[in-house]
Chains A and B, each alone.
Chain A
C-alpha cells in the first residue's frame, strides 16, 4: 500500500488520471441520463396505459396484465436484462446495449407503475365515475377528467421512489457493455491501473441522482399536505 495521507489521495483522487479520463466519465453521464429519461418516459406511459386497460374490467385483458406485473416485479432487473440480451437476437431482433437496457428497465418500471396507478384508481370511490357518466360523459372521458387525476394524486409519492430505484439500475447496463458511467469508469480504472475513475464515477452518480432523491423527498412532503 502506498503509505501516508498523500497515498490515499494519490490513489483515489489522482488529479492527473482524473484530467485524462473526465471526458470519458462525462460521456458516460450522458448515456446514464439518456437511458434514465427514456426509461422513465416509456415505463410510466406503458404502466399508465396498462392500468387504464385493466380498469376496463375485461378478464381476458386483466389477467395477462396482472401476470406481466407479477412476473416483472418478481424477477431481478439484471436477470430480465440478461434474458433479453441473449433472447432477442435469437428471435431475430439484435438490439444495441442501449436499447436492451432501455427495454428491460422500461418493462420493470411499467410493472410497478401499473400496480401503483391501479391501486390509485381503486381508491377513487366508484361514485366518482358514476357521477361523471351520469352527466353524459363517455367512459374514457370520465377516466381522463375525473378518475385518473385523483388516482394519480395518490400514486405519485410511492411512484417517485420507485422511479429513482429503477433508474439507478442503468448501472446494470455495464454488465452488457453499455457505455454508461460505471462501464467507462471500470475500463478507465483497469487501463490506468488507478481507481480514481471509480471515485469519479461515484461523484457522477451522486450528481445525477442526489437531486432526484431530494426532489422526491420534497414532492412527498408537498403531496402529503393536500
Chain B
C-alpha cells in the first residue's frame, strides 16, 4: 500500500512536475483546436460530395476513402507519415505530420456523421427551397446543411472528444503533448507518478465534456 502511494500518488512529485505537465496539456489543447475544425470541414465536404454527386465514380471513391481511413489505425498512419516521409525526401515537421495524419483519419469519421445528418433532412426541404428559385448550392447552404448539422451535434461533440484523446498517440513521435510530458517526467524522476497525474488531468479535461455529451444525447433522444 505504502509503495503504491509512493509510486503513483506521490504528492511531492506531482507538485514538482505539474508545471511541466501543464505545458503538455496546453499542447494537447491547441493541437486539438487545430485538427478538429480541419477534420470537420474536410468531413463535411466529403459528406456533401457523397450525398449530392450524381457520379457513381465520385461516390464510390469517397466511400473508399472513408472506409480506408476507418480501417487504418491512426498510430500506424502517423508512423508511416512521420518516418516514411524522409525516405521520399519529404521532411515534414512534427506538427505537420501529426496534423496530416489526424485530419486524414478523422475526416472519415466526420464524413460519416455528416452523411447521416444530411440523409436525415426531409427531401421536401430541398424541393421547397428549389421551388422558390434557389440554386442547389444556395438550398444546401441555407436550408439543408444547417438542419443536418443541428441534428448531429451530439455526434460531432462525441467525435471531437475522441480526437482530444487521440492526441495522446502523438507522444509516440515525441510531440510534447500531455502524455509525452508525463512520460519524459517519469524517466527523469524514476517514478510513474507523473503518468498518474496526467491521467487525472485528462479526466479533469474530458469527464465534464463526456457528461455534457450524455446530456446532449439524452435531449436528442427525447425530441
Contact = CB atoms under 8 A, between A and B. Distances in A.
B195 A205 contact: no
Contacts of A171: 73, 75-76
A209 interface: yes
11 contacts: A70-B210, A74-B202, A78-B168, A79-B179, A83-B196, A165-B162, A171-B73, A172-B75, A186-B79, A195-B87, A199-B84
Interface of A is mostly: helix
B73 A210 contact: no
B41 interface: no
B71 A210 contact: yes
Interface in A79-133: 79-80, 82-83, 86-87, 90-91, 119, 123
Interface of B is mostly: helix
A199 B68 CA distance: 15
Interface string B24-45: 0000000000000000000000
A203 B67 CA distance: 14
B166 interface: yes
Given A74-B206, A78-B168, 19 more contacts: A11-B87, A12-B87, A70-B207, A70-B211, A74-B207, A74-B210, A75-B206, A76-B165, A76-B168, A79-B198, A86-B195, A87-B192, A165-B162, A171-B73, A195-B84, A195-B87, A198-B84, A206-B71, A206-B72
A201 B199 contact: no
B76 A182 contact: yes
B128 interface: no
Contacts of A169: 73
A72 to B, nearest CB: 10
B203 A205 contact: no
B83 A174 contact: no
A77 B83 contact: no
A161 B98 CA distance: 24
Interface of A: 1, 8, 11-12, 70-71, 73-80, 82-83, 86-87, 90-91, 119, 123, 164-165, 168-172, 174-175, 181-182, 186, 189, 195, 198-199, 201-202, 205-206, 209-210, 212-214, 217
What 5 A-B pairs come out closest when comparing CB atoms? A1-B89, A76-B168, A209-B71, A74-B206, A76-B165
Interface string B167-181: 111011000000100
Contacts, number: 122
Contacts of A198: 79-80, 83-84
B89 A73 contact: no
Interface residues of B, number: 45
B68 A206 contact: yes
B59 interface: no
A199 B71 CA distance: 15
Contacts of A202: 72, 76, 80
Interface in B143-168: 161-162, 165-168
Contacts of A86: 192, 195
B203 A74 contact: yes
A69 to B, nearest CB: 9
B168 A210 contact: no
B79 to A, nearest CB: 7
Nearest to B158: A73
B130 interface: no
A56 B168 CA distance: 36
